[in-house]
Amino acid sequence: MARRSKQTESPETIERQWSPRVSAALLERLAARAAVSAVKKTIAIEAPFTGEVLGHVPHGAPADVVAACAQAREAQQEWARHSFAARAAVMLRFHDLVIDNAAEILDIIQLESGKARRHAFEEVLDVAIQARYYAHTAAAFLKPRRRQGALPLLTKAWEYHHPRGVIGVITPWNYPLTLAVSDALAALMAGNGVVVKPDALTPFSALWAAGLLEEAGLPQGLLRVVTGRGAELGEPLADGADYLMFTGSTATGRKVAGMGAERLKNSSMELGGKNALLVLPDASLRRAVPGAVCGITSGGGQLCISIERVYVHAAVYDVFAARLAESLRAVRLGASLTFLEDMGSLIGADQLSKIEGHVADAVGKGAEVLAGGKARPDLGPYFFEPTLLAGVTDEMDLCRAETFGPVAAIYRCDSVQEMVERANDSSYGLNASIWTRDTRFGRELAARLQTGTVNINDAYAATWASAGPMGGFKESGLGRRHGRQGIIKFTEAQTVAVERLLAIDTPPFLSHQQYATLMSAAVKLLKHVPLIK
Ligand code: NAD
């Protein structure tokens, strides 16, 4: 990140070149993409690596959300008439553009979120995977299907899936590309328009993706990004959109689900987690230790599906705890726009103070620090070491509350049953990870865990990147993203039935009594007729 020489800078505009690829001019162009008219105020975006101002985006007002929803709705009318093949062609061009321009978006993600490049790369991969997946599957998921009619031969029925209209997507700062784009891709493939409200800390990735989607052929206005504060823009988005796709904290999710409920609009909530990793006595520690490090440190632990609780069978506890602590101490922290670092910075001051608070509270009440435990201001203002704590008890904040940082508590368990009970003893139910050589038993155990995803011999990526549904039990969410459910939810289902010859009612030549007798006999016979499934 080199600063241009003083001589070339005019006093009014200091052109900061953040990387070979990301200049102030590029960030200004991205900010200009925001669907905000008559910009009265701007929001300064901080670069967590240094604490400096990266750039500014418009502070959108409620009227901007109203206008964005109207634009998306207008563009959607035409888009809904496009064939699946035409929509898929846009998605596949976008897929290629994301991969071809990965270096630029990796820089942007890193600069606005502070995460390590390897974690930013997960977002690029994810967006490409989702674009390809829905390009190739949407038609099969959403095409009209024959359904069982009331009376064979007399009734023919079909199920249709129509776009809902405009999908409002509200996203957090932790995975600013993935979370702003992946659900939007499914919504677009289903024929909807989209209005994205990215977090005010990390708007540039969403703006970048909106530009690339247009370059890939998405009609103008179909996907709008309104930058600004969620507390101001949530209500107008709930008014203007037909469905709310929210990713963020459980506390805000409750509010947004409430906004939808008041308006009788459906919503999908992808919320917080306090995810457990279980190390069974037969686990390969050679794989489980790096697996746990990955689960604790991904995105600096600021990942909804990252690991914050580690339950280890007593048979392997001492060896595993020692090796995990050693591996966490070896994690390379740093602020470069290269793949050299294992973990980057936290997002900012609030997150740092929350994590420091959880660790200080635990240590003050008797927890033992096995690794890390400290901020690293020598690397940047918001760096915090990967941290492992033992002796964590119920009265400590980090025992149950989501820390959302690279901090995990490790617990010794005497039986697998105890591990399952403790893992389930949480108000959250997002993700879990099981390490065992007996994968058949691992799958049986998974069925006993109250979480939306369970990864066997992986921390989180195996389920996330699969085509299975992704979401939370309990207070971790409502609804699912990915796979069939991840696109069906963006549609209104409609059943159309055609009745031939006779309506389902007493015909004029029978009495109601005769009709009832005839239908009873017919229904008995129908038990033997195969159904359309
Ligand atoms: P947050 O709930 O504070 O903010 C999320 C989004 O909601 C932001 O865009 C914010 O501007 C907006 N918002 C805030 N108040 C609003 C309101 N009143 N109405 C409408 N929108 C409002 O969450 P955060 O702190 O940014 O993100 C971290 C949380 O997100 C963690 O709890 C994490 O577990 C969760 N998360 C969940 C998933 C998942 O897939 N389950 C993924 C990533 C993050």
What is residue 153's predicted lDDT score, i.e. its pLDDT? Answer: 84
> Rounded to 10 degrees, what is the CA torsion of 495, 501, 504, 505?
150
For residue 186, is pLDDT > 80?
A: yes
Mutate which of 174, 201, 347, 403 for ligand 1? The one with the most ligand atoms within 8 Å of its CB, which is 174
Nearest in space to 370 (alpha carbons), one of 393, 392, 387: 387
Pocket test for ligand 1, best of 199, 306, 407 (most atoms within 8 A of CB): 199
Positions marked active-site: 270, 304
The residue nearest atom 40 of ligand 1, judged by CA position, is: 270
Residue nearest to atom 34 of ligand 1 (CA): 272
Kindly give the distance from the C-alpha atom of residue 172 to the centroid of ligand 1, in angstroms, as a whole number.
4
What pLDDT score was predicted for residue 14? 52
Q: How far apart are CA 488 and CA 330, in angstroms?
A: 44
Q: What is the per-residue pLDDT for 313?
A: 98
Closest atom of ligand 1 to CA, residue 252 = 2
Cα 398 to averaged position of ligand 1 atoms, centre (Å): 19
Tokens of residue 224, six digits: 């709008």
Atom number in ligand 1 closest to CA 470: 40
Contacts (Cβ under 8 Å, ≥6 apart) of 100? none
> What separation in Å is there between the alpha carbon of 248 and the centre of ligand 1?
2
pLDDT band with cut points at 50, 70 and 90 for residue 6: very low
pLDDT score recorded for residue 291: 98
> Which tokens belong to 264?
């009788």
Choose the residue to mutate in 170, 308, 430, 485 for probing ligand 1, maximizing ligand atoms within 8 Å of C-beta: 170
User: Which residue is closest in CA terms to ligand 1's atom 26?
Assistant: 172
Q: What is the pLDDT of residue 2?
A: 34
Which residue matches tokens 């893992």? 423
Residue 1 has pLDDT above 80, yes or no: no
Q: What is the dihedral of CA 520, 526, 528, 529, to 10 degrees?
A: 170
H/E element, 287: helix 285-297
User: How far are the Cα atoms of 100, 136, 146, 295 from residue 140, in angstroms, in the given order?
Assistant: 28, 8, 13, 34
Which residue, judged by its Cα, is nearest atom 21 of ligand 1?
230
- Bridge partners (DSSP) listed for residue 392: none
**Ligand 1 atom showing the smallest separation from residue 273 Cα:** 34
Contact 362, 397 (CB under 8 A): yes
Mean pLDDT computed over 252-257: 98
* Phi, psi (rounded to 5 degrees) for 506: -65, 120
- What's the residue count for the chain? 533
Residue nearest to atom 30 of ligand 1 (CA): 248
Residue nearest to atom 20 of ligand 1 (CA): 234
Tens digit of each residue's pLDDT (9 = 90 or more) over 336-362: 999 999 999 999 999 999 999 999 999
The Å distance, Cα 250 to ligand 1 centre, comes to 8
Report pLDDT for 115: 98
Residue 309 bridge partners (DSSP): 276, 409
Separation between Cα atoms, residue 153 and residue 2, nearest integer Å:
75
- Amino acid (one-letter) located at 32: A
Neighbours of 106 (CB within 10 A): 25
Mean pLDDT of 232-240: 98
Structural domains of the chain sorted by starting position, each given as residue range(s) with its CATH number in brackets: 26-142+159-271 (3.40.605.10), 275-475 (3.40.309.10)
- Give the tokens for residue 50: 């240094």
| Cα angle, residue 278 at apex, residues 446 and 456 outer, rounded to 5° | 50
Structure confidence by residue, pLDDT tens digits, 437-460: 999 999 999 999 999 999 999 999
Per-residue model confidence as pLDDT tens digits over 44-72: 999 999 999 999 999 999 999 999 999 99
Question: Which atom of ligand 1 lies at the shortest distance from residue 251's CA?
Answer: 2
Beta strands in 34-125 (DSSP E): 42-47, 52-58
Torsion of CA 307, 309, 313, 314, to 10 degrees: 130
Strand order in the sheet with 145-147: 145-147, 155-163, 491-499
Give 267 Cα–ligand 1 centroid separation in angstroms. 14
Q: How far is the CA of 245 from the centre of ligand 1 (A)?
A: 11
| CB-CB contact of 224 with 58 (8 Å) | no
Taking a C-beta distance cutoff of 8 angstroms, is the pair 386, 328 a contact? yes
- Amino acid letter for position 453: T
Distance of CA 165 to the CA centre of its chain: 21
The SS3 call for residue 106 is helix
Kindly report, residue by residue over 82-135, the tens digit of the pLDDT: 999 999 999 999 999 999 999 999 999 999 999 999 999 999 999 999 999 999
pLDDT digits (tens, 9 = 90+) for 478-490: 999 999 999 999 9
Please give the distance of CA 263 from its chain centroid, rounded to a whole number: 24
* Dist. CA 228–CA 58, nearest whole Å: 7
Ligand 1 pocket test target in 175, 199, 232, 252 with most atoms within 8 Å of CB: 252
Phi, psi of 285 (to 5 degrees): -70, -25
Rounded to whole angstroms, what are the CA distances from 270 to 76, 178, 489? 25, 13, 14
Please tell me the distance between residue 402's alpha carbon and the centre of ligand 1 in angstroms: 13
Write out the two tokens for 154.
Answer: 């007399």
H or E segment and range at residue 195: strand 193-197
Measured from the Cα of 471, ligand 1's closest atom is: 41
- The enclosing H or E element of 245 equals strand 243-247
Return d(Cα 14, Cα 16) in angstroms, integer.
6
User: Which mutation among 173, 183, 249 tests ligand 1's pocket best, with the greatest number of atoms within 8 A of CB?
Assistant: 249
Q: By CB neighbour count within 10 A (0-12 exposed, 13-18 middle, 19+ buried), where does 220 fall?
A: exposed
Task: Identify the residues whose C-beta falls under 6 Å from ligand 1.
Answer: 170-175, 179, 197, 199-200, 230-231, 234, 247-249, 252, 255-256, 270-273, 304, 402, 404, 430, 472, 477
Q: How far is the CA of 309 from the centre of ligand 1 (A)?
A: 22
Provide the greatest CA pair distance for the chain: 98
Ligand 1 atom closest to Cα of 481? 40
Minimum CA distance residue for ligand 1 atom 10: 230
Q: What is the mean pLDDT of the chain?
A: 95
How close is the Cα of 252 to the center of ligand 1, in Å?
6
What ligand 1 atom has the least distance to the C-alpha of 197? 9
Confidence tier at 13 by pLDDT (50, 70, 90) = very low
